[in-house]
Copies of this chain bind each other. A is one copy, B any other.
C-alpha cells in the first residue's frame, strides 16, 4: 500500500466530501470533469490522484460514485474513527464543540479540558469538560489521537507539553505560536491572522 503526499490526501478528502453529496443525490457516475467543476481542481489532477488509489473508472462513463468513495476511504480512513480532545473551552473551543462538520461518523470529539473551575464538569454538546490536570488520564482512557489547542497563546506551549505527555500524536493549533514538540508529534497550524494577511497579500498582488 503506497503512501500519499499531504496534498493528494487533502484533495482526496475533498473528493470524498463531494462524492457523499453526489451519492445523496442518487448520482451513480461522475467524470473527472464533473469533479473538477465541483471541486475547483483540474480534471487531470483528479485523474492522477485517483489513479494512485486504483483503477476504478471506466472510459467513456467516468467513475462509479460509491465505489470511488469506498476506494478512497479504504486507503485514507481504513481504521475506525478518529478521537479528538479539545483543550480550551473559550469562544473558539465552544464553537468547535458545536461544529457540524462533514463525516461526523468518522470524527468523535471525546473530551474537553479547561483550567477554569466554573467550566469543569459542564457538558457541552454531549462532551464533558475536565480539568487540565486530568488530561493524561482521560486522554488515554478515551483513546484520543489528536488534540486541538484553543487556549490563549500565552498558554499554548504549556498545554502542548501536557498533550505530548498524554500521548497525543497530532495537534491542531489555533494559537498564533509555533509549538516545540518532539518530532514524532505532528502539528497543523491554523493561524487566522496569517490566513487573513496572506489572502490580503494575494489580492494586492493581483491588482498591482
Residues of A at the B interface (CB closer than 8 Å) are 3-4, 6, 9-10, 13-14, 17-18, 38-40, 76-79, 82, 84, 90-92, 94-96, 98-103, 106-107, 145-146, 152-153, 169-170, 172, 176, 178, 184, 186-188, 190-206
**Bound Cα distance from A90 to B92, whole angstroms:** 11
B91 touches A95 (CB 8 A): yes
What are 30 A-B pairs with beta-carbon distances under 8 A?
A4-B201, A4-B205, A9-B201, A13-B193, A14-B194, A17-B191, A17-B194, A18-B178, A39-B178, A76-B197, A82-B196, A82-B197, A91-B94, A91-B98, A92-B99, A94-B95, A100-B152, A101-B176, A101-B193, A101-B196, A102-B191, A103-B197, A145-B203, A169-B203, A169-B206, A170-B199, A170-B202, A170-B203, A172-B196, A186-B202
